[in-house]
Structure 1
Amino acid sequence: MPFYLEYTVNQTAGIRSAVDGADIGEALAAATDALTAAGCSTALLRFCPDASPTAGEGDVVAFYTETGGWEPA
């Protein structure tokens, strides 16, 4: 399933990365690892049935904050 992680780090906007995962649980685990490595404090996870390199495309399935973790959309 095509999941995409969108986030900002150090005032850089519009970072969109494809996230591996057969389902939302696997995608959230992979996204969490990526956010931890990047030092990101907020993000969102999108699902798009077709490959989509454009930020803002796809349904938001979860929101992330450093203090609250992942919350479903």
Structure 2
Amino acid sequence: MTGFDWPALMRAGLQGLRLKPEDFWKLTPAELRLLLGQGGAQAPLSRAGLETLLAAYPDKERGEVNE
């Protein structure tokens, strides 16, 4: 397990985000990451999502066959 870079995190929170110290220390690491734009990424595409995209945007026209 690696340690946190507290000086960098504090700079990002206190200077970059302009948080008050009390508000900074109330945040969880996940909340801080989200505020910094590092969290909240979408989940990978699921099989159902892929099937939906394939149905909406097929590679070939209906009735067309491979040659």
Query: One fold, TM greater than 0.5?
Result: no
Pick the structure with more helix per residue.
2
Pick the structure with more strand per residue.
1
Q: TM-score range by the shorter chain?
A: under 0.3
